[in-house]
Amino acid sequence: MNSKTIQTNHINLHYLDSESAGKTVILMHGLTANAHAFDGLMKEGLGKKYRIISVDLRGRGQSDKPKEGYTMKDHAQDILGLMDVLGLEKCIIGGHSFGALLTFYMAFHHAERIEKMLLLDAAARLHPQTKEMLIPALSRIGQTYPSFDAYLEKVKLGAYMTYWEDTMLSYYQADVQTNEDGTVTQRSTPENMTEAILKGSFGEPWLDYIKAVAQPAILLNGTMNYALNAPLLPKEFALETVELMKNCQYQEVWGNHQTMLYGQGAKDIVKGIEDFLG
């Protein structure tokens, strides 16, 4: 994947581009993640059939981090600007978690630009205790650690980290910046991510969008336990969303909300996407 940056919607937006032949697929990561979140899918061959563009959403990774501007509209305008710069009138778009919600938003508000949707572990309803389940993952935001190894050690202590492979390293390396004294600091700030939650995730009529979007879609669901002995997106809630949509397939994949992006989960996802897109 080649690292690139463009100007869009008054910010510098960083993204990874496989520059492969085939249909273009834009992928958008989860709330506090970064463009390397899909490296596990790339390892399993997703970039062989499609041109994969994985974006660092504003406030994350190597993209600019303005103090304000974290609504879904702000994020969508960033992606539309990216499409304009790349000369993409219409393309396949998808995402994991927050990125899948952004996919719903764009498919509703900018239907003419979106061909198909890839939805990874997001739905109208998540587990009732989602806030509590996300505390370990969110606790790393804005923190400084003695070293990258110390940061990685904290990550591996998370209840959701039931599987590890070295492909994950690039994601966690991109998650932090190294300071002059050798310490590392998580790139996303609590203030920006709180705004993304309050004005993004919680600020939209998701049921209205989900019921209205007509583009073909596939929802890929990691049903293994994430925290509190439960999956973040229970299968029954995922199926509820699929049934509300006009044209959506469902596929259960190995892993939980995080580990589904690697190992057998990544293999399942890549096959599901290939079967869906053709």
Three-class DSSP category at 55? strand
Does 199 have pLDDT greater than 90?
Answer: no
Q: What is the mean pLDDT of residues 3-15?
A: 96
Q: Say if strands 114-120 and 217-222 run parallel, antiparallel, or are unpaired.
A: parallel
Output the pLDDT for position 197.
87
pLDDT averaged over the chain?
A: 95
pLDDT confidence tier of residue 198, bands split at 50, 70 and 90: confident
Output the pLDDT for position 95.
98
What domains appear along the chain, each with residue ranges and CATH number? 2-277 (3.40.50.1820)
Percent of the chain with pLDDT over 90: 88
Output the pLDDT for position 138.
81
Angle at Cα 139 formed by Cα 133 and Cα 143, nearest 5°? 170
Output the pLDDT for position 158.
87
Answer whether 0.85 is exceeded by the pTM. yes
Q: pLDDT of 252-267, one tens digit each?
A: 999 999 999 999 999 9
Q: pLDDT of 86-140, one tens digit each?
A: 999 999 999 999 999 999 999 999 999 999 999 999 999 999 999 888 887 788 8
d(Cα 155, Cα 150) in Å, to the nearest integer?
A: 9
Distances (CA, A) of 257 to 30, 37, 47, 175: 10, 12, 22, 18
Q: What is the mean pLDDT of residues 64-71?
A: 94
DSSP conformation class of 60: S
Distances (CA, A) of 210 to 72, 156, 205, 237, 255: 15, 34, 9, 13, 25
Adjacency order of strands within the sheet including 144-145: 144-145, 184-186, 176-178
Q: pLDDT of 157-181, one tens digit each?
A: 888 999 999 999 999 999 999 999 9
Output the pLDDT for position 108.
98
